[in-house]
């Protein structure tokens, strides 16, 4: 079986290639080379039909990871060019090459913020361009499926994914806590669904081998969810240090976020703090992942184990190669 991973040079793709490469023929198609699997990588763009038509020849399964995903992409049209336009191009190339199996990484962002543990049946209500573009891409896919009954599609809607070498929002949070620079905005009782990358890619492999027909949608998170106070306590325990925490009122925190927005606009630099990130930090982002965990899948790691492995890797035993992946 040949698996084409589109956008596999990044954080999730690297871990997915690692667990698939011994059992499948893998080709990674990305705009940049893979730091760990350059011999499996071809440089290509999901927005270019001629490239997709040629590079997907002989493929049995497509895993579509390629996306614009940061909170601060400009111009915002890039979200739709890649996330929606890329979907259209890939589907056309699949039809040209007779490919019948697709795994698409969407996002929990399609549900919006502060929803009450949305399930796969919950209505879409995206609040930013990333979520809106992912939802539009899903709609393009569903429209395509209405005239392609002989294909098997899996739509993954993972919560925020973290793990070793990732430089996204979870790492930024853990880094601030570990270095004693953390300031809690709000009371810290808001819960966060998270997913350890080792579990996410193992679930994808499990579903690739299990779901053979129709369209299945899966939320994915690891549980039980932590609230922000518990996350600080776990970090203290794993690193063996007392971490002072200052609680800042939500309104004051958002005001600070707007100040950082203005600074980023003036300097034309992308900063780690913004009003959007503070809003997301203070929101409840719990999700209902009952469907995924009712398939028979057993995660190889608990959420606490994933967080502990990440903390030890990043702050106790850092790797000398300094290879990292920047996501949200």
Closest C-alpha to 103, from 14, 210, 193, 10: 210
Tell me how far CA of residue 84 lies from CA of 7, 62, 277, in angstroms.
15, 16, 24
Count CB atoms within 10 A of the CB of residue 176: 16
Give me the pLDDT at residue 288, please.
96
Q: Which residue has the higher pLDDT, 280 or 207?
A: 207
Give me the pLDDT at residue 71, please.
72
Give me the pLDDT at residue 162, please.
96
| pLDDT tier, 115 (very low <50, low <70, confident <90, very high otherwise) | confident
Q: Which residue has the higher pLDDT, 297 or 224?
A: 297
Mean pLDDT for 25-46 is 98
Residue 87 pLDDT greater than 80, yes or no: yes
Kindly report, residue by residue over 168-204, the tens digit of the pLDDT: 888 988 998 888 777 888 888 888 899 999 999 999 9
Q: Which residue has the higher pLDDT, 179 or 39?
A: 39
Q: Which residue has the higher pLDDT, 202 or 272?
A: 202
Residue spans of the domains in the chain: they are 2-163+193-224+286-301
Count CB atoms within 10 A of the CB of residue 87: 26
Mean pLDDT for 107-120 is 91
Region class of 102: left (phi > 0), else alpha (psi between -120 and 50), else beta: beta
Q: Which 3-state string (H, E, C) describes the chain? A: CEEEEECCCCHHHHHHHHHHCCCCEEEEEECCCCCCCHHHEEECCCCCHHHHHHHCCCCCEEEECCCCCCCCCCCCHHHHHHHCHHHHHHHHHHHHHCCCEEEEECCHHHHCCCCCCCCCCCCCCCCCHHHHHHHHHHHHHHHHHCCCCCCEEEEEEECEEECCCECCHHHHHHHHHHCCCCEEECCCCCEEEEEEHHHHHHHHHHHHHHCCCEEEEEEECEEEEEEHHHHHHHHHHHHCCCCCCEEECHHHHHHHHHHHHHHHHHHCCCCCCCHHHHHHHHCCECCCCHHHHCCCCCCCCCHHHHHHHHHHHHHCCCCCCCCCECCC
Tell me how far CA of residue 89 lies from CA of 48, 162, 264, in angstroms.
7, 29, 34
Kindly report, residue by residue over 223-240, the tens digit of the pLDDT: 889 998 898 899 989 998
What residue has token string 């630099």?
A: 269
Count CB atoms within 10 A of the CB of residue 300: 12
Q: Which residue has the higher pLDDT, 97 or 72?
A: 97
Record the pTM.
0.90
Give me the pLDDT at residue 311, please.
96
What residue has token string 């925020």?
A: 160
Residue 124 pLDDT greater than 80, yes or no: yes
| pLDDT tier, 328 (very low <50, low <70, confident <90, very high otherwise) | low
Residue 96 pLDDT greater than 80, yes or no: yes
| pLDDT tier, 42 (very low <50, low <70, confident <90, very high otherwise) | very high
Mean pLDDT for 202-227 is 94
Give me the pLDDT at residue 284, please.
75
Domain 2-163+193-224+286-301 has CATH 3.40.50.720: yes
Tell me how far CA of residue 99 lies from CA of 58, 83, 148, 305, in angstroms.
8, 20, 11, 37
Q: Which residue has the higher pLDDT, 211 or 19?
A: 19
Mean pLDDT for 307-320 is 93
Average pLDDT, the chain: 93
Q: For the chain, how far is it from start to end, CA to CA, in angstroms?
A: 32
Residue 243 pLDDT greater than 80, yes or no: no
Mean pLDDT for 149-157 is 96
Give me the pLDDT at residue 98, please.
97
Residue 260 pLDDT greater than 70, yes or no: yes
Rounded Cα distance between 225 and 231, Å, is 10
Active site positions, annotated: 130
């Amino acid at each position: 079986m040949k698996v084409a991973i589109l956008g596999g040079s990044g954080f999730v793709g690297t871990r997915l290639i690692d667990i698939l490469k011994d059992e499948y023929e893998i080709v990674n198609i990305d705009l940049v080379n893979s730091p760990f699997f350059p011999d499996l990588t071809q440089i290509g763009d999901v927005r270019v039909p001629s490239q997709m038509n040629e590079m997907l020849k002989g493929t049995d399964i497509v895993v579509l990871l390629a996306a614009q995903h940061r909170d601060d992409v400009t111009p915002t049209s890039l979200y739709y060019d890649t996330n929606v336009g890329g979907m259209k191009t890939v589907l056309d190339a699949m039809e040209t090459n007779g490919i019948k199996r697709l795994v698409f990484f969407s996002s929990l962002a399609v549900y919006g913020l502060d929803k009450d543990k949305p399930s796969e049946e919950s209505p879409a209500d995206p609040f930013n361009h990333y979520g809106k573009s992912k939802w539009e891409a899903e709609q393009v896919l569903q429209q395509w499926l209405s005239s392609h009954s002989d294909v098997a599609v899996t739509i993954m809607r993972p919560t925020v994914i973290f793990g070793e070498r990732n430089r996204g929002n979870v790492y930024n949070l853990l880094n601030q806590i570990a270095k004693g620079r953390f300031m809690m905005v709000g009371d810290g009782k808001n819960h966060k669904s998270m997913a350890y990358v080792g579990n996410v890619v193992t679930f994808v492999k499990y579903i690739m081998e299990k779901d053979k027909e129709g369209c299945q949608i899966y939320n994915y998170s690891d549980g039980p969810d932590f609230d922000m106070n518990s996350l600080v306590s776990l970090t203290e325990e794993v690193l063996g240090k007392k971490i002072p925490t200052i609680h800042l009122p939500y309104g004051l925190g958002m005001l600070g976020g707007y100040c950082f927005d203005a600074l980023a606009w003036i300097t034309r630099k992308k900063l780690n703090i913004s009003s959007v990130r503070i809003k997301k930090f203070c929101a409840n982002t719990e999700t209902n992942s009952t469907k995924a965990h009712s398939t028979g899948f057993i995660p190889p790691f608990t959420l606490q184990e994933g967080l502990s492995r990440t903390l030890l890797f990043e702050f106790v035993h850092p790797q000398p190669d300094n290879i990292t992946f920047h996501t949200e």
